[in-house]
Structures are given as structure tokens and as C-alpha cells.
Copies of this chain bind each other. A is one copy, B any other.
Amino acid sequence: MPMPMTEPTDDRDLVITRHIDVTPNALFRCWTEPALLQQWFVPKPWTIATAEVDLRVGGSNLIVMKSPEGEEMPNRGVYLDIVQDRKIVFTDAYIHAWTPSEKPFMTGIITFEPEDGGTCYTARVRHWTKTDRDAHEQMGFHEGWNQCADQLAALAATL
């Protein structure tokens, strides 16, 4: 049964969704090719110092975010599901297959659905607790993910 993807189905979810006037493939590439990912994956003026992607179920990623002051924040995760041009699922509950992380915080379910010649882009972020969901929202989830979606759309339009 396909899960409806435009509204939170769980009070532990945070979701952004929007139409982007590029192909699903362009967005999928921006999410999965390190050289592209580095250009949009953190709200500017932060930057991505390192992006490593092993794009397969059980593959790991490492994304090191860098603050304007030069502080680096590494983020590790593992891919749980990959459907070419349609879907990416990953979690920070593991640092690689299958070693638990220090703190299972979130699972990202990113979908790229063809829509009116472009793409309905949805980022659903699930948390294990409502407390973590609320903390993520307070940390600026909506502002951050929307700014990144703007950067993503602008980059994808150049491909």
C-alpha cells in the first residue's frame, strides 16, 4: 500500500513538499552525486567540506558540514532503500552496516514523483520520539530544509 507522502502520518514526522520544475532524475542526481550534493546540502553560508556516498542499500554516507567560522560537523548515515530517480531512504541510526550510531535521531524518506512535467519533491523526516521531532523543528527544520530545497532547485535547473 503506497504511503501518502504530503502530510505527516505520525506526530514524530517533519515534512516539506513542493513542486520543482525539473526532472526527477536531476533531483536524484543532486542527492546522490557528491560533487552536486556539496553545492546545496547545507544552508549557505555553511558549506560541505566532504561528501562521500556509497549509493546502495546498506551503503554509508559521510557528509561533513562546515560553519562559516570553520567548525566541522560530520554526519554519518546508512542507506535503507534506493529507487533510481524516485526514492532515497537513509538513517543516522547506523554509522555503517550495521553498527549502531551514538544516537538514532532520524530517518529521511526523500521522494521524487513526476508531476506536470516537473517533480513533486517531498522530504519526510521521521524521528523515534516526539521530543526529537520537536527539537528538530526548534533547531529550524523548516527554514533549513526549505532553504536547501531552494538551493537544490536552483542547482538542478542548471543540469
Seen from chain A, the residues whose Cβ lies within 8 Å of a Cβ on chain B are: 10, 12, 57-58, 80-81, 89, 91, 93-94, 97-104, 107, 109, 126-128
Assembly of this chain: how many copies? Answer: 2
Nearest residue in B to A124 (C-beta to C-beta)? B98
Partner of A97 from B10, B81, B93 at Cβ < 8 Å: B81
Contact between chains at A127 and B107 (CB < 8 Å) = no
Give A69 to B103 CA distance when docked, in angstroms: 37
> Lowest 6 CB-CB distances: which A-B pairs, in order?
A100-B128, A104-B104, A98-B107, A89-B98, A100-B126, A93-B93
Nearest residue in B to A103 (C-beta to C-beta)? B128
Q: Separation in Å of the A110 CB from the closest CB of chain B?
A: 11
